[in-house]
Amino acid sequence: MPLQQSPAWQALTKHAEQMSARHISDLFKSDTQRFTQLSFSQDDILLDLSKQRMTEETLSLLTSLASERNLQQWTEDLFSGAPVNASENRPALHTALRAPGSSSLLLNGQDIIPEIQSNLERMQAIVERIHSGQWRGFTGHSINTVVNIGVGGSDLGPLMACKALAENQPEEAAHIQIHFVSSMDGSQLAELLNKLNPARTLFVISSKSFTTVDTLANANTAKEWLKKSSMADNETMLTARHFIGVSAASEKMTEWGISASHQLGFWEWTGGRYSMWSTIGFPIALKLGMPGFRQLLAGAHAMDQHFRTAPFGENLPVLLALCGIWNINFLKINAHAILPYDGRLSHFPAYLEQLEMESNGKSVTRDGTLTDYSTCPILWGEVGSNAQHAFYQLLHQGTESVMCDFIVAARRYHQSGNNELLHQHQLNLANCLAQSRILALGDSVLKDAESAPVYKRYRGNQPCTTLLLDELTPASLGQLIALYEHKVFVQSVIWGINPFDQWGVELGKKVATSLLSALSADPAASDFDSSTRGLLEKISSQSEPEA
């Protein structure tokens, strides 16, 4: 049955006709127990949906939709290794990457958990070797700088986690500086190489296929820099001492020059944007030490178990996903702001942009039909305290309806003994709560608001979710990331799309390859469109040597 013709969808459509006319402030006035009824907790995370334009009846209808779409079976398929990535005939087993070593999971008749644990132990050995100063460069000096070269999931996850958890860095890792390079144009790498000591720098080349053009271009530039800086003719020695490869394609790493002993592997069923739990997370392990990295995995695993076993009406990923379905498909809100009130989470919005828009930015269902309903909204975000001075004007008084996720930790600096920092955290909490309150309730929270001129009025009714962490730790960050991962999966099940492929990305890569050769040919002779041909001619004329 087409999604929009299903009984649950029809019931929600009828319910939305009533709820669309209601204001969130009126929902609070009519129900003094609203927070109690619409907030949910799991371990270190509290999910508050009370400032959404919904009621308990709304949630009941939404969970009926999840049941109707067979979410429970899809969830079991995800965890058991069924080929949920149908277009590539693969499972999506990122949950297995954070499963404890005592567990078991058969894939094609083979238990994959021992191999996953073996990879983690291999990574641990390298991390400990670097931390102890036993990994040495071409001069015999120990490595003190690591540069991760990757793009997409090979960059965003490790970068985000390293920034978020920098305060958890153990003493043995404090002397290691970690940098991230992803830009295709070489600008990040060029600036960085001017500051680094080649004799003490280790490069980590992270690419699932080890064919990603931008990653390999940066890697080759780094290799040439090392050769010129060291004045060494022995490229094999330089590569052995200064490069580690992380990939699912061991033969490609070997072909590039990375020896088997310096390769960290993972599997084809590991999606790029879900890969930080694998050896792609090497920079995180280097930053936190393996105990910290294992805490991150354990936090994600705890959320996995909650998602797999909790009833829909108490299940945080399911509730967060269904809230999004309600806003997107029934209240017609197609913009989503991610607003962490924590500078440590500055890269979290970008991480979620990839996770959600690359996963669910689809208009074709699993059975090959075009959708006649909206799927993934446009995501963007910024640290909340900065966003207040950037785009909150649009949220408060603009013409667009926007759903907002506020993310904040209840505790910070409580062990520092620094009263000034404690006060700053309280100021941050106050701003987070105030902004979500006004966005949802409008100026009804103020006295005499109706007497204000119209340009000073706040209409409110922007749906807001608050995710309150007890404290930002490796375990709670693991829970938070897994929460959003499973939210994406639930929404894909409702919409009937495959969240684990990304065919929309591929065409641009192919066309870029053809344009690369055109840059060194005669643009006028090409059969490109007039815009591309004209731009090529302009670039060609600017590249000609001066007389």
The angle at the Cα of 333, spanning 327 to 334, to the nearest 5 degrees, equals 115
Marked catalytic residue, from 15, 131, 358, 382: 358
Q: How many CA atoms lie within 13 A of 514 on its CB side?
A: 9
Q: How far is it, in rounded angstroms, from Cα 13 to Cα 20? A: 10
Task: Provide the 8-state DSSP code for 65.
Answer: H
Marked catalytic residue, from 17, 251, 389, 544: 389
Residue 358 appears among annotated catalytic residues: yes
Tell me how crowded residue 418 is: count the other CB atoms within 10 A of its CB.
10
Q: How many CA atoms lie within 13 A of 75 on its CB side?
A: 25
Per residue in 344-373, is it b (16+ CB within 10 Å) or e — as a string? bbbbbbbbbbbbbbbbbbbebbeeeeebeb
Q: How far is it, in rounded angstroms, from Cα 194 to Cα 192? A: 5
- Say how many residues make up the chain: 547
Q: How far is it, in rounded angstroms, from Cα 279 to Cα 285? A: 9
Residue 227 appears among annotated catalytic residues: no
Marked catalytic residue, from 29, 423, 509, 538: 509
Burial of 135: CB neighbours in 10 Å, binned 0-12, 13-18, 19+:
buried
Tell me how crowded residue 496 is: count the other CB atoms within 10 A of its CB.
18
Contact yes or no for 91/98 (Cβ under 8 A):
no
Helix-, strand-, coil-residue percentages of the chain, each rounded to 5: 55, 15, 30
Distances (CA, A) of 513 to 4, 127, 229, 302, 502: 41, 37, 31, 43, 18
Q: How far is it, in rounded angstroms, from Cα 215 to Cα 280? A: 14
Residue 486 appears among annotated catalytic residues: no
| Residues identified as active-site | 358, 389, 509
